[in-house]
Amino acid sequence: MPDAPSSVPYRRDRSRLREERRRRRRRGMWMGIAAAVIAVLVIGGAITAMVVANQGSGPAAAPSEAAEPEPIVFPDDEPAAEPGAEPCTTVSVLSSFENAEMVERLAEGYNAEPRDVDGSCVTVVAAKDKSGIAAEEAAVGFTETPEDERPVVWIPDARSWLGVAREGGGGANVPAEGTSIGSSDIVLAMPEPLAAAIGWDEEPPTWTDVFETADDAAVWTDLDHPEWGEFKLGKTSPVIASSGEAAMLASYGAAAGSLADLTAAEITDDEISDEVKQHELATSHYMATPEHFLWHARQSADAGGSAADFLSAVIVDEKSVWDYNRGITSRDGVTRIETDPPAEQLVPIYPSDGYYVADNPAVVLTGSWVDDAEAAAAEDFLRFAGTKEGQAIVREAGYRDLNGELDAEVEEVGALAESTDAGLPFPEQQVVVAMHEAFPEVRKRANVLFLLDVSGSMGDPIETGESKLEAAKQAVELSLDHFSAGDNVGLAAFSEVDAQALAPGEVSAVADIADTRDRFESALGGLKPIEWTPLYEAVDTFAKQQAEDYDRDRINAIVLLSDGRNETEAPSTSSQQMLDTLEELHHSTPVLVFTLAYGADADVDTLRAISGATGAHYYDATDPTEVDEVLGELVTSF
C-alpha cells in the first residue's frame, strides 16, 4: 500500500491514534448529555424504567449549559430462590438483525437463573428480523404469525422504528416510548489507510464534507491514490435498516443546516430535497444490512486487494466496526463467520456536527395476544437488562451501557471513542415518517436489467403447484413496485436451442419503467422454458451491454436469476472469460451483477463468484417458494 501524501501522514501507530482521538472528544462523559432522561423508580428493589443516557444535544453543548447527571448505579440482579411453577411463562423477544447477539445474550443470562413471576417460572426466547420488516409486521399486529408465536417484547435497534410502526397503524400494539437497554453510535467507517489519507482520522468532517467529498470523482487521484478509484459511499436502505435511516436523516440535516433540529417541513422542502438528491448520487448502492457491505469489503481485502476496492466509507453502527475489526463478518446478517482480524482495519469517524444513536428501545407489546402473565414476565426481563449483570452483558456484546460506557476490549479493538458528546437521538416520529415517504423520490435512480434463466428445468413444478418459471415471473412483477419514474428497467432471458445462443435475449429494452411497464410485463408473461443454460455467455454478453450504457449518476446493475449450471449445446464463453470480463468492467464502467440462486440445483458457487467479482450481493432462493420474498429484499439495493 503506497504511503499517503506527506500533508496528511499515514498513522501507523494505532494506539497513539486512538489516544489522540479520545483526547479530542473527552470533555467529560456527561458534558454533552442535555437531552437524556433517566427515570429510575425502585419498587420492591425492581427498576421499572431506564432511558439511555448517551444521547447528547450536539457538539454545541458547553459544560456550563447543563449539569452533569450522576452515573446510574446499576442494581444487582435478584433472581428467585427457586423457579416458579411449571409450565413456564414464555416471553418471545423480537430484535433487529443488528442487535440480535446482545438480545440473545441477555436472554441467556436471564434464563440462567431461577425466575418466579407471579408464581410461574419464565423462559425468554429470542428471535430476529430486519428492522423495517419487523416494523411493517408490528404495524398490522403480526397477523402473518400464529398468535402463540407473536412477540411479547420488541427491541428494534433504534427508536425510529417504533414511530414507523405506530404511523403504519400499530398504535394499538406498540407503545410510543421504549426502555433503552444500551446504545451504539451510528458513524462513518473507513478503511484505515483511506481515513488517514484524507485526514478524517485526525479532524472529523461534517456531514456536508462527507457528501461533498463522496461526490468528487477525483478525490483519491488528487490525494495520489488513483488505485482506490472513485469515492464509494455505502449505505443501507432506510426502509430496512437503522443505519440507512441515519444516513438519510444526516443527508437531510446537512442540507437543512442542522441534524439536531431537522423538521418534517424541511424534508418536504424542494430546495433541500434537490440537495439530498445530489448527495444520493454518491451512493454506490443500497443494501439491506450493514453486514452486507462489511462482508464484501473483507472479501475484497482477502482477494489480494484492499477493502477500498469495494468501499471508501460506509455508514454503520459502532458494534459493526468492532465485529469487523475482530474478524467477524456475515454475508446475510444471520450466519456469522469468524476469521483472523483483517490486516486493514476500519476506523470509526464521528462527524463533528453530530451523528444519530441507535438506542435499542425495548417495548412490551400491548396486542391482544399478550396476556397479563406474559406482560409481567416481560417487565421482569427488562428489569434484568438494567441490572449490573444485564449491563455487563450489554457491554460485552459491543454496546455502550446506560452510562455510555464501553467494554475496554471492545473500545480497543473497535478503535471506538471512549466517550462521545455529539450523539443525537433519532428525530420525532413525524420527521422519520416524512423521510421514509420522501426516499423513493430522492434515492439514486437505477439502470437495471432483469436477466432470467429460461432453461428447460424452469418448467419443473414447485410445492405451490406452479412451475419455477411462473413463480419467478410473479416475483419479478411484484418487485417492479419498488421502482418509480426515472428508473430505467429492462428484461432479458437466456437459454439455447438449435445452437441459437441466448434465446430469446432482450425482450424489453432498459428504459424508464414509468413508460415501459406494460411492455415489460407483457414480455415477462410471454417467457417460456426452452432448453440449455448458457449462463456464462449470458452474463458476459449482457454485462458488456449494460456497461456500454454506464451512467455514473445511476446504480448500474443486472439482477440474474438462475436455477442451474452452465450447459450449452455448442462451444461458448468459458467461466474464466466471463470473470475476466466482469473484472475488467469493474475497474472502468462497473456493473453490479446481483445473483439469485433459484432452486436446489442452482450453481451456488458460480453465482457467488459472479456477484463477488462485481461488488454486488448473492441471494439464496434455493427454496423456490421464497423467491418473491428474496427478490423483494434484493431490489432494496436500488
Q: How confident is the model at residue 588 (pLDDT cuts 50, 70, 90)?
A: confident
Summarize pLDDT for 239-261 with one digit per residue, the tens. Answer: 999 999 999 999 999 999 999 99
Closest CA to 237 of 168, 295, 284: 284
For 132-153, the pLDDT digits (tens) are 999 999 999 999 999 999 999 9
Q: What confidence tier does 30 reach under pLDDT thresholds 50, 70, 90?
A: very low
User: What confidence tens digit (pLDDT) does each residue in 112-126 have?
Assistant: 999 999 999 999 999
Neighbours of 503 (CB within 10 A): 17
pLDDT digits (tens, 9 = 90+) for 155-172: 999 999 999 999 999 889
Close Cβ partners of 233 (under 8 Å, ≥ 6 residues apart)? 210, 214, 282, 283, 284, 311, 312, 313, 314, 315
Q: Which triple of cell numbers denotes residue 46?
A: 425492581
> Can you give the pTM of this predicted structure?
0.84
User: Which carries the bigger pLDDT value, residue 580 or residue 217?
Assistant: 580
**H or E stretch including 338?**
strand 337-338
Convert 207-237 to b/e letters by CB count within 10 Å (16 or more is b): bbbbbbbbbeeebbeebebeebbbbbbbbbb
Condensed to tens digits (0 to 9), the pLDDT of residues 589-618 reads: 989 999 999 999 999 999 999 998 888 888
Query: Is 47 a residue whose pLDDT tops 80?
Result: no
Cα separation, 275 vs 271, whole angstroms: 7
Establish whether domains 75-180+361-399 and 445-637 are of one fold.
Answer: no
pLDDT value of position 17: 39
Q: Quote the CA–CA distance of 488 and 251 in Å, as a whole number.
A: 24
Got the DSSP string for 577-593? HHHHHHHHHHTTS--EE
Tens digits of residue pLDDT in 346-374:
999 999 999 999 999 999 999 999 999 99
CATH of 445-637, one of 2.60.40.1120, 3.40.50.300, 3.40.50.410, 3.40.50.720: 3.40.50.410
Q: Is 60 exceeded by the pLDDT of residue 11?
A: no
Q: What is the pLDDT of residue 615?
A: 81
In one letter, which amino acid is 46? Answer: A
Is the predicted pLDDT of residue 52 greater than 60, yes or no?
no
What pLDDT, on the 0 to 100 scale, is given for residue 28? 34
Higher pLDDT, 10 or 530: 530
pLDDT band per the 50, 70, 90 thresholds, residue 67 = low
CA distance 612 to 614: 5
Question: Does residue 468 contact residue 599 with C-beta atoms inside 8 Å?
Answer: yes
Query: What pLDDT does 289 receive?
Result: 77
Domain boundaries, the chain: 1-11+184-358+406-444, 75-180+361-399, 445-637
Contacts of 91 (CB under 8 A, 6+ apart): 122, 123, 124, 125, 152, 153, 374, 377, 378, 381
Cβ atoms within 10 Å of 397's Cβ, excluding its own: 21
User: Domain 1-11+184-358+406-444's class?
Assistant: alpha beta
Place of cell 422504528: 161
Q: Which element (helix H / strand E) includes 163?
A: helix 160-167
Averaged over 331-342, what is the pLDDT?
A: 82
Q: H or E segment at 209?
A: helix 207-214
Alpha-carbon radius of gyration of the chain: 25
Beta strands in 264-325 (DSSP E): 283-287, 313-317
Q: What's the CATH code, domain 75-180+361-399? A: 3.40.190.10
Q: Which tens digits make up the pLDDT trace of 368-392?
A: 999 999 999 999 999 999 999 999 9
Is the pLDDT at 56 greater than 70? The verdict is: no
- Is the pLDDT score of 57 beyond 70? no
Output the CA torsion 562→568→569→570 (10° steps): 140
Report which of residues 632 and 188 the model is more confident about. Answer: 188
Average confidence score pLDDT of the chain: 88
**Residue with more model confidence, 234 or 305:** 234
